[in-house]
Amino acid sequence: MNILLWQTWAFALILSSFMASAATVEHTFLVENKTIKRLCNEQVIVTVNGLYPGPKLEVRDGDSVIVHVINNSPYNITIHWHGVFQLYSAWSDGPEYITQCSIRPENKFTYKFNVTQQEGTLWWHAHASVVRATVHGAIIIQPRSGRFPFPKPYKEVPIILGDWYDGNVEEIIQKELETGDKIASDAFTINGFPGDLFNCSKNQMYKLKVKQGKTYLFRMVNAALANNLFFKIADHKFTVVAMDAAYTEPYTTDIIVIAAGQSADILFTADQPKGSYYMAASPYVVGEPVGLFDNSTTRAVVFYEGYKKLKTKHIVPLMPALPLHNNTPIAHKFFSNITGLVGGPNWVPVPLEVDEHMYITINMGLVPCPVNAKCTGPLGQKFASSMNNESFLLPVGKGYSIMEAYFYNVSGIYTTDFPDNPPKFFDFVNPKIFLDPNVTFTPKSTKVKQFKYNSTVEIVFQNTAILNAQSHPMHLHGMNFHVLAQDFGIFNPTTDKLKYNLVNPSIRNTVAVPVGGWAAIRFRTNNPGVWFLHCHVDDHNLWGLVTAFIVENGPTPSTSLGPPPADLPKC
Ligand SMILES: *[C@@H]1O[C@H](CO)[C@@H](O)[C@H](O)[C@H]1NC(C)=O
Ligand SMILES: *[C@@H]1O[C@H](CO)[C@@H](O)[C@H](O)[C@H]1NC(C)=O
Ligand SMILES: *[C@@H]1O[C@H](CO)[C@@H](O)[C@H](O)[C@H]1NC(C)=O
Ligand SMILES: *[C@@H]1O[C@H](CO)[C@@H](O)[C@H](O)[C@H]1NC(C)=O
Ligand SMILES: *[C@@H]1O[C@H](CO)[C@@H](O)[C@H](O)[C@H]1NC(C)=O
Ligand SMILES: *[C@@H]1O[C@H](CO)[C@@H](O)[C@H](O)[C@H]1NC(C)=O
Ligand SMILES: *[C@@H]1O[C@H](CO)[C@@H](O)[C@H](O)[C@H]1NC(C)=O
Ligand SMILES: *[C@@H]1O[C@H](CO)[C@@H](O)[C@H](O)[C@H]1NC(C)=O
Ligand SMILES: *[C@@H]1O[C@H](CO)[C@@H](O)[C@H](O)[C@H]1NC(C)=O
Ligand SMILES: *[C@@H]1O[C@H](CO)[C@@H](O)[C@H](O)[C@H]1NC(C)=O
Ligand SMILES: [Cu+2]
């Protein structure tokens, strides 16, 4: 072997052993007030380390993560690591009243977890009230090998989509909960900026400078509180390579549809003539009248290096044509066309034997306005939402989170009788049930479902048309699932099971259940703990469209949940 080759080989060896060893990534998240100006007003918002969007957390698969969260904000907060499995570390998952009580102002808590067999883009966000509106950021998990299952991109670019409320978002949502009504955001944002379609925002626009011919990897997150979004760049195409940090068969498209809570890894090649092009996002919403949702468009600019030299005149970027807000065929095509990368890194085959079947209806609905209160929701009542007609009540003021109550055998916090089926069957998707008083009112409860360790669970989520048919992005903590099929109408077990893709379905943590339709998912309960299941549209979540899955311990100490960390906040 000649000396040069040998050196190269030795260097490669050192590099690969360096690559293979797991590291500890440690950060401090200081949660604090910060005054920033968006639209035409200054607002005090809550940030992590003064940043909006928050700092990106970059790790490699296999790393240990330690994040010291110091709460100097005026609100109770927790942080959730959205999509991170939290294998055997459920105490670090974060949802308030589910796995922990919140970190009160002037208190702190240290989250500790390992990243295990995941690659791609996820995100972190506050998981108490609606603090996440401004407290969120990307989690980027690099492959431990340093190799992607696609050509190495020239650069990686976080694209965080969000929404903005022209006021104090906590107060706005509190008001919404009191009056029982719904309040829409005032703008969407790309990397924190609403863009030049808004007053006072001409200079508040994200700009991405690209080199012609190069390929960029977009680390995209939909962090908006309440909306699914369409995303386009004029004259360009994308190749989706992962969703929710699970690799997909490369999928080429000129539009991205990203539901609230979802994340995506997207290749973007600057293959057009040197110029400037808008990137833009607008809502995908069905079944809601304008006023109840934000129908605005946010935009940013992709600017080719060297373009200014060619053209000295005022530059007007090309604008992509976005679909109308209710274009369901585009959303359905995108979601149903994505398939998993069989045999790729961390691919998991679909479990074929099912132990537990659940059929879960997703309902909007009402609860009665409290006596002496004035409610401005439909029929003068309050909005509520439910699954199988159980509208979830967090165990506020009871002294324990659900997981602490489970771990310490404390009774009176929750019950384990969340139903496997809806209490009554009717024409779920018929628009005539819009305000049918027989079915619109829903009871409140704190019902969860308990599973044996390592059960295979199949859930069919069924959207209904009560109060209006919408697309709900359902998010499960702690475990990814395969999306077997999704379609419109009422799920028919005989005919619709034939549509299941058991070969290469996409693996996700959040599924957008089609409007007036259903989605079937399957997963294995391989992670002991208490796992939140909820709609990622925050008002639906706060109105009760949530439950939790308790996964029992496995047979050995190493497959069991340990005791809570000593610094876990007390209620
Ligand atoms: C943060 O801002 C809120 C809302 O403006 C205010 O009520 C609170 O006093 C501020 N807290 C701190 C610690 O600055
Ligand atoms: C992370 O993995 C290491 C090595 O397997 C283990 O010792 C440690 O307890 C794990 N940490 C957490 C928080 O699960
Ligand atoms: C911008 O300001 C003008 C004048 O105050 C107002 O008429 C218009 O509605 C505003 N546009 C937006 C998008 O807020
Ligand atoms: C939403 O805005 C678009 C223009 O951006 C408009 O064409 C459409 O009619 C609006 N939708 C509604 C329901 O007003
Ligand atoms: C992609 O979507 C279109 C339109 O919904 C559908 O006709 C086609 O079968 C889908 N392809 C795949 C591979 O799912
Ligand atoms: C809770 O109850 C289970 C089953 O009865 C028991 O194994 C466990 O030790 C109890 N845990 C505590 C903390 O008392
Ligand atoms: C509600 O009750 C009325 C009267 O009993 C009945 O006609 C109607 O079909 C019921 N609606 C549903 C959705 O069950
Ligand atoms: C939900 O429960 C309430 C109270 O029992 C009942 O009136 C209503 O019909 C149920 N709704 C549905 C959708 O099952
Ligand atoms: C989980 O169940 C599957 C299928 O029954 C089995 O192959 C696997 O070994 C089990 N895993 C554990 C950790 O028990
Ligand atoms: C903050 O948390 C504490 C303890 O859980 C609770 O007593 C208090 O009501 C919470 N505050 C708010 C505003 O939710
Ligand atoms: Cu929802």
Q: Across residues 181-197, what is the average pLDDT?
A: 94
Average the pLDDT over each of 66-80, 102-116, 279-293, 311-325 and give the range with the smallest value. 311-325
Give the C-alpha distances (Å, rounded to integers) separating 108 from 97, 124, 135: 16, 17, 16
Would you say the pTM of this structure is higher than 0.95? no
Boundary (domain end) residue, out of 342, 366, 394: 342
The pLDDT value given to residue 400: 97
Q: Across residues 56-60, what is the average pLDDT?
A: 97
Three-class SS state of 397: coil
Q: Across residues 454-469, what is the average pLDDT?
A: 94
Structure tokens at 381: 């009542």
141 and 156 fall within a common domain: no
292 and 360 fall within a common domain: no
Q: Is residue 311 included in any domain, yes or no?
A: yes
How many whole angstroms from 372 Cα to the centroid of ligand 11? 29
* Max CA distance (Å), the chain: 89
Mean pLDDT over all residues of the chain? 93
Residue 89, φ and ψ in degrees, nearest 5: -130, 40
DSSP 501-514: --SSB-EESEEEEP
Which structural domain, as residue segments, surrounds residue 76?
Answer: 1-148
How many whole angstroms from 100 Cα to the centroid of ligand 2? 20
Q: Is residue 448 included in any domain, yes or no?
A: yes
Q: Across residues 292-301, what is the average pLDDT?
A: 94
Q: Is residue 570 included in any domain, yes or no?
A: no
pLDDT at 16 over 60: no
411: Cβ below 6 Å to ligand 6? no
Task: Please state, for a pLDDT cut of 90, what percent of the chain lies above it.
Answer: 86
In single-letter form, the type of residue at position 168 comes to N
Q: Is residue 571 included in any domain, yes or no?
A: no
pLDDT at 313 over 80: no
Ligand located closest to 410 CA: 6
Q: Across residues 60-85, what is the average pLDDT?
A: 97
List all residues 6 or more positions away from 60 whose beta carbon is below 8 Å from its beta carbon. 19, 22, 23, 115, 141, 142, 143, 144
The pLDDT value given to residue 288: 81
Q: Is residue 350 included in any domain, yes or no?
A: no
494 and 555 fall within a common domain: yes
Pocket test for ligand 9, best of 354, 355, 453, 454 (most atoms within 8 A of CB): 454
Pocket test for ligand 3, best of 199, 294, 297 (most atoms within 8 A of CB): 199
The pLDDT value given to residue 310: 53
pLDDT at 292 over 90: no
The pLDDT value given to residue 15: 41
Going by alpha carbons, the residue nearest to atom 2 of ligand 9 is 454
Q: Within 10 Å of residue 44's Cβ, how many Cβ atoms? A: 12
Count of domains for the chain: 3
170 and 139 fall within a common domain: no
382: Cβ below 6 Å to ligand 4? no
The pLDDT value given to residue 20: 54
What is the atom index within ligand 6 of the atom nearest the CA of 408? 13
The pLDDT value given to residue 4: 36
Pick the more confident residue, 179 or 124.
124
199: Cβ below 6 Å to ligand 3? yes
Q: Across residues 536-560, what is the average pLDDT?
A: 96
The pLDDT value given to residue 309: 57
Q: Is residue 564 included in any domain, yes or no?
A: no
293 and 407 fall within a common domain: no
Boundary (domain end) residue, out of 82, 116, 148: 148
Task: Please state, for a pLDDT cut of 70, what percent of the chain lies above it.
Answer: 95
| Sequence-ordered strand ranges (E) for 325-412 | 356-367, 382-387, 391-392
Q: Is residue 351 included in any domain, yes or no?
A: no
Q: Across residues 312-321, what is the average pLDDT?
A: 79
The pLDDT value given to residue 17: 42
Boundary (domain end) residue, out of 117, 132, 148: 148
pLDDT at 18 over 70: no
pLDDT at 138 over 80: yes
136 and 189 fall within a common domain: no
Q: Do residues 367 and 382 lie in contact, with contact meaning Cβ atoms separated by under 8 Å?
A: yes
427 and 289 fall within a common domain: no
Alpha-carbon distance of 531 to 297, in angstroms, equals: 34
292 and 328 fall within a common domain: yes
403 and 439 fall within a common domain: yes
Residue 531, φ and ψ in degrees, nearest 5: -120, 125
What is the atom index within ligand 4 of the atom nearest the CA of 289? 13
Please report which confidence band the pLDDT of residue 311 belongs to, taking 50, 70 and 90 as the band edges: low
Q: Across residues 101-110, what is the average pLDDT?
A: 97
Q: Which CATH number does the domain housing residue 395 bear?
A: 2.60.40.420
The pLDDT value given to residue 195: 96
Average the pLDDT over each of 85-99, 177-191, 220-234, 256-270 and give the range with the smallest value. 177-191
The pLDDT value given to residue 377: 87
429: Cβ below 6 Å to ligand 7? no
How many whole angstroms from 440 Cα to the centroid of ligand 8? 7
Q: Across residues 330-336, what is the average pLDDT?
A: 97
Please report which confidence band the pLDDT of residue 327 belongs to, taking 50, 70 and 90 as the band edges: very high
Q: Is residue 566 included in any domain, yes or no?
A: no
pLDDT at 12 over 70: no
Q: Do residues 38 and 60 lie in contact, with contact meaning Cβ atoms separated by under 8 Å?
A: no
204 and 72 fall within a common domain: no
Three-class SS state of 308: helix
57 and 103 fall within a common domain: yes
pLDDT at 378 over 90: no
Q: Within 10 Å of residue 216's Cβ, how many Cβ atoms? A: 20
pLDDT digits (tens, 9 = 90+) for 487-546: 999 999 999 999 999 999 999 999 999 999 999 999 999 999 999 999 999 999 999 999
Q: Across residues 183-200, what is the average pLDDT?
A: 95
The pLDDT value given to residue 291: 80
113 and 243 fall within a common domain: no
pLDDT digits (tens, 9 = 90+) for 401-453: 999 999 999 999 999 999 999 999 999 999 888 888 889 999 999 999 999 99
pLDDT at 23 over 70: yes
| Sequence-ordered strand ranges (E) for 184-289 | 187-190, 207-210, 215-222, 228-233, 238-243, 246-253, 256-258, 263-269, 276-284
How many whole angstroms from 39 Cα to the centroid of ligand 3? 10
